[in-house]
Amino acid sequence: MNEQPRDSFEARAQALFHDSVEGVDYATRARLTQARNAAIEAVSASRRRPWFFRIGVLTPAAGVTAAAILGVFLWLGSPLGQHAVTVADGQSNFEDLELVAAADEGSGDAMDMLQDDIEFYDWADKSANPGPAA
Amino acid sequence: MPPFDTLNQAWMVWDGPAPAPEEAVLEYTRELEKFLAEIERRAFRMAQVALRDPDDALDVVQDAMLKLARKYASRPSAEWRPLFYRILENGIRDLQRRRTVRKRFMTWLPGPKEDPESEAQDPLDNVADAAPAIPEALMQGQAMQQLEVSLRALPARQREAFMLRNFEGLDVAETASAMGCSEGSVKTHYSRAVHTLREQLGEVW
């Protein structure tokens, strides 16, 4: 590092540059100092952050995990999710089905009863109006 | 063995003082500050030679400092110099590319055209200085201005090689690391830069 120039031309160029560096005005020097302090502060700030924020790979992974958890909660909270739970439960639907089936069975009994009534009405009619004796 | 008053004394006897990570951080932070303080003005002047505008030069140097501090502060201090100049040269190149794009875009828009020469001139340059000028300093200032003009006329890679090798004093390997090229390329760029500059400035100097 800091090799010396090989000839007078290079030495003169280097000397001129260093003179111009010494001639940098105070306003610029002050701004450079501010920039340096900001850079040093950045190192300190990065040290103060929790370790999991300092690991660049984990930060996106944490974001994806948080989004996945939020997605699950939203899914369970949505009407579609609730419907899924109700269908999975299914108890009340089967009860309804049984009631309907029972109603159908009841209508079958009613037909039998109606058939019995017809026979009764026929007997009563015959009893009330006996026909000519054979 | 004598009894220990504190646990720390026991540590001192057993294996010396236990290293504290915070102390190590403070140590390299102090070292980094020292390094930045040492190179900041040279870096600024190099950026100014390349970009002409002092505000742009300050922005680029500040960005380079921040990037070095955030990403590479924990690296060995011997690596800081080439890393810093690599970041700086990348910043200079990015800014020059953005300027080129902006200029191309501006040519399509109606309005007054920018004069590239007037852009470089600072109105304060034309104000007479109350203090009597020192002839030697004046001559040196003029010589440096001529060198800057000639450096800006060089191809970017030659200018980078010349400034890193001659102004900053990096060796060939460090310059190659800063420029992201082989050592052979550095030698070629530097040799061509010196040859061109000598041709242009030899008579004046």
Residue B137: both structure tokens together? 């300093």
Nearest neighbour of B42 by CB, restricted to A21, A38, A47: A21
Predicted TM-score of the model (pTM) = 0.61
Q: Is the pLDDT of residue B153 over 90?
A: yes
* A contacts of B61 (beta carbons < 8 Å): 32, 35
Between A19 and A80, name the one with better pLDDT.
A19
Q: pLDDT value at position A101?
A: 59
Residues B144, A36: C-beta atoms closer than 8 Å: no
Question: Which 8-state DSSP code applies to residue A26?
Answer: H
Nearest neighbour of B147 by CB, restricted to A1, A16, A36: A16
Residues B166, A20: C-beta atoms closer than 8 Å: no
* A contacts of B88 (beta carbons < 8 Å): none
Any idea which architecture B137-205 has in CATH? Answer: Orthogonal Bundle (1.10)
pLDDT (tens digit per residue) in B155-202? 999 999 999 999 999 999 999 999 999 999 999 999 999 999 999 887
Domain ranges of chain A: 14-48
DSSP count for chain B of H helices, then E strands: 9, 0
Domain ranges of chain B: 19-107, 137-205
Distance between CA atoms of residues A43 and A1, nearest Å:
26
Return the residue matching tokens 């992974």.
Answer: A61
Return the residue matching tokens 């944490």.
Answer: A62
Distance between CA atoms of residues B30 and B116, nearest Å:
42
Query: B137-205: same fold as B19-107?
Result: no
Q: pLDDT value at position A109?
A: 58
Q: Are B197 and A13 in contact (CB under 8 A)?
A: yes
Residues A39, B65: C-beta atoms closer than 8 Å: yes
Residue B14: both structure tokens together? 């057993």
Which residues does B103 contact at the CB level (< 8 Å), separation at least 6? B114
Q: Is the pLDDT of residue B129 over 60?
A: no
> What's the average model confidence in pLDDT over B76-84?
92
Q: Are B35 and B77 in contact (CB under 8 A)?
A: yes
Of A26, A43, A54, which to mutate for an interface test with B (greatest number of B Cβ within 10 Å)? Answer: A43
Number of residues that make up chain A: 134
Distance between CA atoms of residues B66 and B69, nearest Å:
5
Query: Averaging pLDDT over each range in A45-54, A61-70, B4-13, B80-89, which range is the top one?
Result: B80-89
Assigned CATH for B19-107? 1.10.1740
pLDDT (tens digit per residue) in A77-133? 766 555 555 555 555 556 665 655 555 555 555 566 666 678 778 888 888 877 665
Nearest neighbour of A16 by CB, restricted to B62, B81, B143: B143
Min mean pLDDT across A13-22, B122-131, B136-145 is at B122-131
Between A115 and B73, name the one with better pLDDT.
B73
Q: pLDDT value at position B8?
A: 56
Query: How far is CA A15 from its chain centroid?
Result: 65
Tell me the one-letter amino acid at B121: Q
Of A7, A33, A34, A36, which to mutate for an interface test with B (greatest number of B Cβ within 10 Å)? Answer: A36
Q: pLDDT value at position A106?
A: 52
Would you place residue B142 in the very low, low, confident or very high pLDDT band (cuts 50, 70, 90)? confident
CB neighbours of residue B43 within 10 Å:
23
**Above 0.90 for ipTM, yes or no?**
no
